[in-house]
Every structure is written in structure tokens, then in C-alpha cells.
Amino acid sequence: MAEAAETFRHDAEIPYNVRVIDNPTQADLKSLSQYHAPHVYRSKYGNLNRITRCKARMAQSTYIIAPITEQGFYSTKVMLKERAERLIHYQREYIERAGTLIRIDGYLGHGPKAPAVQWLYTPEAANLAGMQQVLSFPRAMEEDERQLAEPFRPQFRLVMTPDCLSPETPGHVAVIVDLEKWTTYVLGSDYFGESKKGMLRMLNDYVYQLGGLVLHAGAKAVTIDGRRIMMAVMGLSGTGKTTTTFSEQGERTEPIQDDMICLWPDGECSVTENGCFAKIDGLREAAEPLIYRGTIHADAWVENGFLNADGDYDFAKGILTPEEVNHWRVALLHTGAPLKNLEAYVNGDVQVEELLTEHGRPKEGWDFIQWTQNGRSIIPMSAISSAVAFDTVPPIESLGILNRDEGACAATPGVLRFATAEQAAAYFMLGETSMTSAAGKDRGKTRSPFTQPFFPRAPHLQARRFEDLAARMPELQFWMMNTGYVGGDQRDVEQGTALKVKIRHSSAMLEALLGGRIVWKRDPDFGYDIVDVDAPENRALLEKVPEGILNPVRFFKTHGRAEQYREWVDRTKEDRRVYLQKMGVEEQIVRQVHFYRGL
């Protein structure tokens, strides 16, 4: 068991015999990045864009130090202490040969409950240090004069060395989590998500020990009908969490957080980051103006953005031409493109049509012809004009989850309301969605409890803790939104046989939900509440959102697919029941997805 994080402190001195670049400025970190970090390019806006070798987090290379007999207590793989110490020593030798570490001190959140944290990077990770500094809350913002005068002693520490490739783990990446010493070691990854999530993973355990729960959720303050509330929305990467957080509802919308929040047993909800970590694939100013303008801000950092010859970003870049591949040759080889294949494409020996699957994705060995869809930007909250003042955050009153449904049997309603906190706990525990580019090459449906791949303990503990916290907040509203499709995918939409839930649809549904302007009815199959599309009071919403999105069964019946819908209902209810029981969830919560009578 880890030592209590609220009392644990690392020594003020870092445990490496190296020169330390101590909390450099953002300007210094830009200079260090351009000198030390490979494949860093300056955009015409003045911000830096790095092309990384790793395009996503590597869950298969993440380990918690523990005996094999304790595997069942954790949500990820475990690694024996002896093996972990061998890799940690390997990393130490690399660090001391490099001779320099960049040190970033700050807080993982704002307010008295936020833990003190420290990140250490070798110079080739200078851009990661710059990104992380943007997201952390500086000491000057969280400490008084007496604390500032004392040496900084962090509760958490993360050490990251991108060019120190792990010799014995998948992909030459190792993320080693020592919960006893509140330290994470990252070897071989240059992807910022491993830095960000490495610290948030420890935060999960910290908050859980103190009786709370970390939610993988964005949050914003919304003023509707003159009333100001806080709402939060959970979602796996790529489901639209950041987009929903920054969309506008009511008279005023103030973004608070786009990734993680903490629910505490006293009913308080606190933030974790001083900025935004946004997906940029398909980013358009018309659809997401705040994220777009934040991404091109001079103070932002970008990861895996496509730059045109004039230094402008092309957020819609997909398949590359042979000329574009040749232009990015060095960077693409760095990311693992096979030289033989690259030259064959550049020389015209193969045509793009030969290299794509029937679903339009590159075949094995040809990934480099498609620009990654997992590009990211790190935006300081100071670059978001409408961002909330953190000391004025209102109490949380609304909490939802995003399910980006997709495929022939996509039938999740555009918006639904859970009838009870137990029912919400069941669906939050399911954490259903369709996989996106954030998951790498994987596609299809996935489940992640509370959309939370960073909770290190047994996942079912989240459902139990959430039920306990929800009981203390009886006025909290619970809901789910579909941010994907009904009845198919994008190809089906183009053929007129499916519906796409567009950003404007989501915004309209959310505004109606928060404003209490929806007349609901009980869904006869699942027991949650859906929009009553026949109620005259819902006409204004139906003018903005298609009926088939609000009530998918109508869409399936209209298109002669009623039997397909019935099969989906029966299969889905059973699959959900089996999954929750397998995860060890208590029976009264399991019943909410299978036996709904009496709700």
C-alpha cells in the first residue's frame, strides 16, 4: 500500500548527479526545444510543433510495481520490483550520461487540496517540459510568501527520457509507476500524453485515498436564464469531451477544465490543469472557435500538426501525396516509416489506391501515407478569452458522459437522462464508446470504466465510490450524449442511410438539457429517460436536431430495420450485464442495465 500522499514528500534535492535547468521560462523552453528536441518546427504563428515518434499512449507498456499475486488489485499490468529497479537504474545511467535535467515544479490543480508535483526531463524532451509547464499551476499562484521561501518538496514526481529506449518492453517504451514512492518513470516515449497522464494516474490514487474520485471529464460554468452552474462531461479521448467543454450554451459559457476533475466527499469539485489538451484533427474555426484560436496562439504548443510550406497548419490533412511524403521524409523515417516503402511511394512505384484497405485506412507498413489523426495542442487558459476565473467556480450541478456511437447498430439516443444515481453509476462504469484515433490503430467498440484509463486500482471501486459521493449530492443531474452516429458511419451518412450527430446538434441538446427545457419519457427497453419527440414542448429542439437522433428507434423503424434494433437491444443489455459482473460491480448497480423495472 502506498504511503499516504497527503503526508509523503520527496526530498528537495533531485536524486541525480546532473546539472539542473531549474524552472526555465516558456521562452527558454522554446529555445531548448529547437536546439535539443528532434523534428521541432516553428509555425507562422510563432508556436512550436513537434513530430513525435510515438503517436499515442502505450497501455501495453505501462506497469505498476507490485507482486504478480496482486495483479487483481490493479487496472493495469504489474511489474516485479526487481525488474522495475533494473529499468529504473538503466534510465538513471542514461540521465547521468546526458548530464542535464530540466526541472518543472508546480501543482496539479488549484486550491488547498492540490498536490505539489515535479517533472524531470532530459533535454530532448524540452518541448514536453514546455507543455507540462503550461498545464501546471505555478508555485506563485498556490503558495504564500513563507512557502515560496522554502525549498520545494513535491508529493509526486515524474521522470521522462524519450531517447532512453526500454530494452525489454513493447515498443521500447516503459511507463513504470511506483505508488509507494509516488514516482512515475517514462522510458522511450516522446508523446506528451505519457507525461500528462503519468501524473494524473498518481492523482487518481491520491484522491481515492482521501475519499474522493477523479473523473476523466471536462467542465465549464454555464449561465442559463440568469442562473450560473457548473457542468462536467466525461469521455474517452476523441469522443468530443473538449469540443463539448468549449461549446457555447446559454447567455454565457466559461470553460473551466477539459480533461480531469476531482469530486470530493464534501461535495466540492476541483480542477487539475491550467490549460487545455485538445485534439486538432479536423479543427475548424467555424465549428470550434475557441480551440482553433487557442491552437494558433503564439503561447500554445502543438504535437503532430501538419504544416504547409508557408508555416500554416492544415488540420484536415489526411492522405499525403508522394511530394508531401518526400518533403516530410526525415520526420517520417524518424517515426518508423520503412525506407523501402517510403521510396516506392515517392518514386511512383505504387499508387495510393493499392495501399488502402476497403475502409480507407493504410495497410500494414504504409501508415506513413496518412497524417496522424491524433495531433494535439496544449493551450494555456490565459489564451482562452472566455475561460473562468478559478476562484469563482460555481458548485457542480450536472454531470454527463459521452458515447461516440458508430456502426450499423449505433442506436444510442442523442441525449438521455438517467433516472437514478445507481443507473448513472452503471453507465459511467461501462464507459462505452467507439474507438478513435487516440487509440492508435484499434477500431470498434470499447469500454473503459468512467472513461478512466488512469485509475490504477481495481476498476469496480470507482462505481462504489461514485455511488457514495452521488448520495451526498442529491441535486446532481446525470445524463449521456451520443456524439457519433445513428444507424451507421460516415459512409452511410453520405449514402443517406445513417445520421451524424453534429456539433450544432450536441450544443442544442446540451442547452435544452441544462435549461430544463426537455419533456422526457421513459425508454421502454432501457429504463432511462429519452426526449419525448411527440411532446409539443420539444418542438424547438426538434427544429435543431433530427427526430432519429433524439429517438433512434424511430429512425430504425422508418428505414425498415426494426428487427435489427430489437436484436441490438437484447444483445446490448446482456453484454452490459456480463461486463459489469465480470468487473466485480455490485448487483444493485448491475441491475440498472438489465433489469430496469421499478425505476
3-state secondary structure 113-161: CCCEEEEEECHHHHHHHHHHHHHCECHHHHCCHHHHHCCCCCCEEEEEE
**Antiparallel, parallel or unpaired: β 415-417 and 529-531:** antiparallel
Q: Which residues contact 148 (CB under 8 A, 6 or more apart)?
A: 139, 140
Q: Is residue 222 classed exposed, middle or buried when 0-12, 13-18 and 19+ CB atoms within 10 A define those classes? A: buried
Share of the chain above pLDDT 90, in %: 89
**For residues 529 and 521, is the Cβ–Cβ distance under 8 A?**
yes
**Antiparallel, parallel or unpaired: β 217-224 and 48-50:** unpaired
Res. 442: pLDDT tops 60: no
Query: Could you give the CA distance from residue 128 to residue 306 in angstroms, rounded to a whole number?
Result: 18
Average pLDDT of the residues in 40-64: 96
311: left (phi over 0), alpha (psi -120 to 50) or beta: left
CA–centroid distance for 5 within its chain: 24
Could you read off the pLDDT of 411-423 as tens digits, one per residue?
999 999 999 999 9
Could you read off the pLDDT of 367-413 as tens digits, one per residue?
999 999 999 999 999 999 899 999 999 999 999 999 999 999 999 99
Query: Could you give the CA distance from residue 247 to residue 238 in angstroms, rounded to a whole number?
Result: 15
Could you read off the pLDDT of 191-212 as tens digits, one per residue?
999 999 999 999 999 999 999 9
End-to-end Cα, the chain, rounded Å: 39
* Range of weakest confidence among 18-22, 47-51, 345-349, 452-456: 452-456
Q: How many Å is the Cα radius of gyration of the chain? A: 24
110, 397, 52, 101: which is closest to 275 by C-alpha? 110
Res. 532: pLDDT tops 90: yes
Average pLDDT of the residues in 314-342: 96
* Range of weakest confidence among 234-248, 294-308, 553-567: 234-248
**Antiparallel, parallel or unpaired: β 183-187 and 156-161:** parallel
Average pLDDT of the residues in 275-280: 94
Res. 17: pLDDT tops 70: yes
Could you read off the pLDDT of 350-360 as tens digits, one per residue?
999 999 998 88
Share of the chain above pLDDT 70, in %: 97
Domains 19-210 and 214-275+384-593 share a fold: no
- Check residue 445 and give its pLDDT: 81
**For residues 208 and 243, is the Cβ–Cβ distance under 8 A?**
no
Average pLDDT of the residues in 522-543: 97
Res. 155: pLDDT tops 60: yes
- Check residue 436 and give its pLDDT: 55
Could you read off the pLDDT of 172-184 as tens digits, one per residue?
999 999 999 999 9
- Check residue 444 and give its pLDDT: 62
Average pLDDT of the residues in 295-320: 97
Domain 214-275+384-593 falls in which CATH fold? Phosphoenolpyruvate Carboxykinase; domain 3 (3.90.228)
4, 29, 44, 200: which is closest to 108 by C-alpha? 200
Query: Could you give the CA distance from residue 140 to residue 597 in angstroms, rounded to a whole number?
Result: 54
Grid cell, residue 463, equals 462505481
Q: What is the mean pLDDT of the chain?
A: 93
State the angle between helix axes of 192-209 and 126-135 in degrees (0 to 180), rounded to the nearest 10.
40
- Check residue 514 and give its pLDDT: 94
Query: Could you give the CA distance from residue 458 to residue 480 in angstroms, rounded to a whole number?
Result: 24
| Domain chopping of the chain, boundaries | 19-210, 214-275+384-593
117, 87, 304: which is closest to 188 by C-alpha? 87
Res. 435: pLDDT tops 60: no
Average pLDDT of the residues in 205-223: 95
The dotted CATH code for 19-210 is 3.40.449.10
**Band of residue 486 on the pLDDT scale cut at 50, 70, 90:** very high
Query: Could you give the CA distance from residue 397 to residue 288 in angstroms, rounded to a whole number?
Result: 25
Entry pTM: 0.91
- Check residue 598 and give its pLDDT: 40
Could you read off the pLDDT of 106-143 as tens digits, one per residue?
999 999 999 999 999 999 999 999 999 999 999 999 99
Highest mean pLDDT among 6-10, 244-248, 562-566: 562-566
- Check residue 217 and give its pLDDT: 94
